[in-house]
Amino acid sequence: MNNDRRALLKSAAMAAAGSMVAGNGSLPVVRADQAVDDLPTGEGLEWNKAPCRFCGTGCHVQVGVEDGRVVAIAGDKAADVNKGLLCVKGYHVGGILYGKDRLTKPLLRKDGELTEISWDEAIETIAQRIFDSPETFAFYGSGQWTIPEGFAAQKFMKGGLGNNHIDPNARLCMASAVTGFLATYGVDEPAGCYQDLDECDVLITWGNNPAEMHPVLFSRVTDRRSRGETVRVIDIGTRRTRTTDAANDYLEMKPHGDVAISLGIMHLLIANDNYDKSFVEKHCNFRGAEADSPTLQGEAISEEDFRKRIAKYTPEHVEELSGVPADQIRMLGELFGNHDIRITSLWCMGMNQHTMGTAINSLVHGVHLLSGHFGRPGDAPTSLTGQPSACGTVREVGTLSHALPGGRVVAKPEHRQQCEEYWNLREGSINAVPGYHTVKMFEQFTKPTAEGGDITTLIVQVTNPGQTLPNLNALFNDKEGLKDKFLIVSDVYPTASTQLADLILPAALWVEKNGMFGNSERRTQQWFKMVDPPGDARDDTWMTIAIAHKLFEMGYEGMQDKDGEFIFAVKDDDGQDIPIWEFEHYYDTNVDKHLFEEYRQFTTMKHKNLAPYDEYVKARGLRWPVVEQEDGSWRETRFRFSGFDDPFVKEGEEFDFYHSSSNDGRAQIWFHEYAPPPEMPDDQYPMWLCTGRVLEHWHTGTMTRRLAPLNRAMPTAYVEMHSDDAKAANIRQGEIVTIESRRGVCDLPVWIDGRGRPPRGTIFVPFFDESKLINNCTLEAFDPFSKQPDYKKCAVRVVKKTTVKQNSAKDQTAKDKTAKEATTAHVEVSS
């Protein structure tokens, strides 16, 4: 590729960023093929495929590498997910490798100062702490782990240490989606796929904002309009967003209004007798929560009982609970009652970060089942994943504290036994008691040991809890000063988490290593290492294996299998160990491939069958279940449980919920009673606080804030406010105000009539800005089944800065920390 073309490609991406930030409703998508119609090689430039590092959409990019550096990014036209399109983050993804302050050396805190140490010392320090107290060690991981990274951590903890204290940030993200799927279908993950968006007549977004959070996916819908197709978008939310701008209808609800709305739709389907009787008779049961100690399975209830319970959710009652006018509820009821159209529902954090998360997920599935809007292309209840591999790594590999690979759980003896067999471990190696979920893990870590805080060493990989846990003052900042607690953080940049770390491990990032991700539509994707990591940065999988091997050398029994072999042993053709625990030899073989082939065995029990590694090398991802055909080729599945596409549906059946929790091939239509949010505005804290994201930044901004165009486009967090609320409090545009909750404070500039527009009584704050930690204020209350906390609603007050008084010493610490971080937050580099 000559320099002109490269410049053109780059300027197209810049222009894209520019046009994006100008906002005014334009869609955050540019076409790769407007910049490049082919991707020439030669002159040392080589292209290779990789999934984008960012969101769960799972776009594929083509990465151009020259002289050992990533120099260009293009959308991948061969990829079914994005067909050559990328959003601004995707176009700039290559630049994330080149921030000036990449971590390049292990750093140990000695007398308060971070000091460079060797990898040997780092690995030894960690292994010794684990050796001394294996049961008080915990692993906090990520939906941004690659599949092999998660699998290695899982095997190390649950297989090697017999310790189930491993949980990922996806607990904060997808846990309620998982419990919703389990409660409804007996097995996790969506039945439909992205093709539903090409075929639906109506798209309902339930409190999510795909125009900014899944931009390329959302453009599949808006593009249809520009082709002259009709698709009606109905946005239900607690604030107006860019998705609202693209919607035909906007239904503004109160927090938890979604529960009432879904009950209201089901009420109408029954009352108007236009639910899908044949689908329900053949394929569904009714389910309700037990009166005492409810479980995820619940209990069977009769249709009659369901009708009685739902009777009170009339459109008028739903209006009272949700704030959405009764007529709009009737409109939704009529749409779902119409079997001639196809309806797809999408949701994400609004429904998952919810203390009724399991309930609302089940209810929306129930709306689709009861109305029969299920399992035909375009008719789908679809939970979107946020992170690039929350599905592939967390849900499928099972890196949650209660889970084992392939849909197994630690509590079931036969599941433990199967894993012990696949891993060739001694019987009884795997602990039957679930470990700590995320909130509990950090509670136990930040509580003094003498007071029962029984997690003393915590390793964090590919996540930034110092910024993203709820109620940071309690769950993270309390670690300060606890001498016997040891925090290890593996990251690529200095972060809010490395601030309190005792040991920092520099990690390889994205195409600096081999990897695999699994996206929102069950699609498993693979990429190869393309460039070297900077300095001494190393792969996260290598770190886990090196710690395991150190323990093996120290004689820790769990690191040997039944035959005395190292649990991560890889042999060469002569049966000799390849010393993959030594980084010089880590790429002597493809460790990812070994781990993936081992993992693949686990996936058939729940019919999440994966193909051999080499099939993913060839493809732009394959959607499981992937089964081998008679001719030896591998076939993916688009529509699960539907007889026309799913190979596991019984011959001749139209639908088959083959992992039904009632063991009869049926899905469960749940009834749950509406309940209000756990904390509501009152006299003292009169406003709702909602938190979330913006298009330009990825979560805590560690990567995107180091990309000059993105950082310039969105340089600071802010608080979105309604102009009448601002007027009433005499607050001006841009003025700095203090947000106070019962848990902490955060100072932010005010944005009136900004990109998102909350109604009166609600404010919204994005959490990407390390210098403005809104999670000082958020609530850690969680759903009883999923243990996922609710970041979407709590009670706050907005105080003009001049009148604020410090109300506790802890708030002062938090503010000091914030001030300190401000100096590291605005690192700008050019990509």
Q: What part of residues 177-216 is at the interface with ligand SF4 (CB under 6 A)?
A: 214-216
- Inter-helix orientation angle 326-337/357-371, to 10°: 50
How many Å apart are CA 86 and CA 75, to the nearest integer? 6
Which region holds residue 513: left if phi is over 0, alpha if psi is between -120 and 50, else beta? beta
For residues 367 and 266, is the Cβ–Cβ distance under 8 A?
Answer: yes
Residue of 180, 386, 407, 744 with catalytic role: 386
Percentages helix, strand, coil for the chain, rounded to the nearest 5?
35, 20, 45
Q: Encoding tokens for residue 153?
A: 């951590």
699 is in an annotated binding site: yes
348 counts as binding ligand SF4 under rule CB under 6 A: no
Binding partner of 345, given ligand MGD, Mo ion, ligand SF4, none, CB within 5-8 angstroms per partner class:
none
For residue 31, what are the β-bridge partners? 85
For residues 262 and 360, is the Cβ–Cβ distance under 8 A?
Answer: yes
Smaller CB separation from ligand MGD, 284 or 714: 714
35-53 b/e with 16+ CB inside 10 Å = b?
bbeebeeeeebebebbbbb
693 is in an annotated binding site: yes
Q: Encoding tokens for residue 158?
A: 């649950």
How many Å apart are CA 214 and CA 82, to the nearest integer? 11
For residues 418 and 173, is the Cβ–Cβ distance under 8 A?
Answer: no
Q: In the complex, what is the shortest distance from the CB of residue 426 to Mo ion, in angstroms, rounded to a whole number?
A: 37
Q: Which of 60, 155, 256, 593 binds ligand MGD (CB under 6 A)?
A: 256
776 counts as binding ligand MGD under rule CB under 6 A: no
Residue of 49, 83, 89, 158 with catalytic role: 89
Q: In the complex, what is the shortest distance from the CB of residue 367 to ligand SF4, in angstroms, rounded to a whole number?
A: 27
Smaller CB separation from ligand MGD, 495 or 818: 495
For residues 32 and 5, is the Cβ–Cβ distance under 8 A?
Answer: no
Q: In the complex, what is the shortest distance from the CB of residue 497 to ligand MGD, in angstroms, rounded to a whole number?
A: 7
For residues 313 and 267, is the Cβ–Cβ distance under 8 A?
Answer: yes
Helices (H) and strands (E) in the chain, counts: 27, 33
Residue of 154, 387, 444, 525 with catalytic role: 387
758 DSSP 8-state letter: P
351 counts as binding ligand MGD under rule CB under 6 A: yes
Q: What part of residues 91-150 is at the interface with ligand MGD (CB under 6 A)?
A: 142, 144
Span of 35-43, 485-493, 520-528, 600-608 interacting with ligand MGD by CB under 6 A: 485-493
Smaller CB separation from ligand MGD, 29 or 569: 29
605 is in an annotated binding site: no
Q: For 211, how many CA atoms within 13 A lie in the half-sphere containing its CB?
A: 24
Q: Return the CA Rg of the chain.
A: 26
697 is in an annotated binding site: yes
Smaller CB separation from ligand MGD, 239 or 317: 239
169 counts as binding ligand MGD under rule CB under 6 A: yes
253 classed as catalytic: no
89 classed as catalytic: yes
Span of 4-12, 226-234, 618-626, 790-798 interacting with ligand MGD by CB under 6 A: 790-798
Binding partner of 213, given ligand MGD, Mo ion, ligand SF4, none, CB within 5-8 angstroms per partner class:
ligand MGD
Q: Which residues contact 703 (CB under 8 A, 6 or more apart)?
A: 53, 96, 99, 492, 493
Q: In the complex, what is the shortest distance from the CB of residue 343 to ligand MGD, in angstroms, rounded to a whole number?
A: 17
Smaller CB separation from Mo ion, 56 or 375: 56
Q: In the complex, what is the shortest distance from the CB of residue 238 to ligand SF4, in angstroms, rounded to a whole number?
A: 23
Smaller CB separation from Mo ion, 54 or 542: 54
For residues 463 and 489, is the Cβ–Cβ distance under 8 A?
Answer: no
Q: In the complex, what is the shortest distance from the CB of residue 174 to ligand MGD, in angstroms, rounded to a whole number?
A: 7
803 DSSP 8-state letter: G
How many Å apart are CA 14 and CA 10, to the nearest integer? 6
Number of residues that bind ligand SF4 (CB under 6 A): 14
Smaller CB separation from Mo ion, 177 or 410: 177
Q: Which residues contact 589 (CB under 8 A, 6 or more apart)?
A: 570, 572, 578, 580
Q: What part of residues 13-72 is at the interface with ligand MGD (CB under 6 A)?
A: 55
269 counts as binding ligand SF4 under rule CB under 6 A: no
Write the DSSP assignment of 37-53 as a string of letters. SS---BTTBEEEEEE-S
Q: What part of residues 213-242 is at the interface with ligand SF4 (CB under 6 A)?
A: 214-216
698 is in an annotated binding site: yes
89 counts as binding ligand SF4 under rule CB under 6 A: yes
Smaller CB separation from ligand SF4, 214 or 594: 214
349 classed as catalytic: yes
For residues 611 and 597, is the Cβ–Cβ distance under 8 A?
Answer: no
User: Exposed/middle/buried for 622, CB within 10 Å: 0-12, 13-18, 19+?
Assistant: buried
Q: Tokens 């036994």 identify what position?
A: 417
818 is in an annotated binding site: no
578 DSSP 8-state letter: P
694 is in an annotated binding site: yes
How many Å apart are CA 99 and CA 676, to the nearest integer? 45
55 is in an annotated binding site: yes
Residue of 1, 173, 530, 703 with catalytic role: 173
695 is in an annotated binding site: yes
Q: Which of 793, 797, 815, 817 binds ligand MGD (CB under 6 A)?
A: 793
For residue 404, what are the β-bridge partners? 408
Q: What part of residues 41-80 is at the interface with ligand SF4 (CB under 6 A)?
A: 52, 54-55, 57-59
Q: Where does this chain bind Mo ion (CB under 5 A)?
A: 173, 386
Binding partner of 791, given ligand MGD, ligand SF4, Mo ion, none, CB within 5-8 angstroms per partner class:
ligand MGD
How many Å apart are CA 488 and CA 715, to the nearest integer? 29
Q: Which residues contact 15 (CB under 8 A, 6 or more apart)?
A: 30
| Site map 371..400 versus ligand MGD, x via CB under 6 A | ---------------xx-------------
461 counts as binding ligand MGD under rule CB under 6 A: yes
Give all strands (DSSP E) within 9-150, no chain letters. 30-31, 46-51, 60-66, 69-75, 85-86, 107-110, 113-116, 137-141
Write the DSSP assignment of 130-190 as a string of letters. HHH-GGGEEEEE-TTS-HHHHHHHHIIIIIII----EEEGGGGTTHHHHHHHHHHHSS-S-
| Site map 402..441 versus ligand MGD, x via CB under 6 A | ----------------------------------------
Please name which of 252, 203, 209, 241 lies closest in space to residue 224, comparing C-alpha atoms. Answer: 203
Q: In the complex, what is the shortest distance from the CB of residue 748 to ligand SF4, in angstroms, rounded to a whole number?
A: 25
Going by DSSP bridges, is the β-strand pair 503-506/523-527 parallel, antiparallel, or unpaired? unpaired
Q: Which of 212, 379, 592, 720 binds ligand MGD (CB under 6 A)?
A: 212
Span of 82-90, 147-155, 454-462, 759-767 interacting with ligand SF4 by CB under 6 A: 82-90
173 classed as catalytic: yes
Give the residue numbers of the binding site.
Answer: 52, 55, 59, 87, 89, 144, 169, 173, 349, 353, 464, 490-491, 513, 540, 691-700, 767, 775, 792
- Active site positions, annotated: 89, 173-174, 349, 386-387
Residue ranges that bind ligand MGD, judged by CB under 6 A: 55, 142, 144, 169, 172-173, 206-209, 212-213, 237-239, 241, 255-256, 258, 348-351, 353-354, 386-387, 461-465, 468, 490-493, 495, 507, 509, 540, 690-693, 695, 697-700, 702-703, 767, 774-775, 778, 791-793
Annotated binding site for substrate: 767
Which residues are documented as binding site for [4Fe-4S] cluster? Answer: 52, 55, 59, 87
Which residues contact ligand SF4 by CB under 6 A? 52, 54-55, 57-59, 82, 86-87, 89-90, 214-216
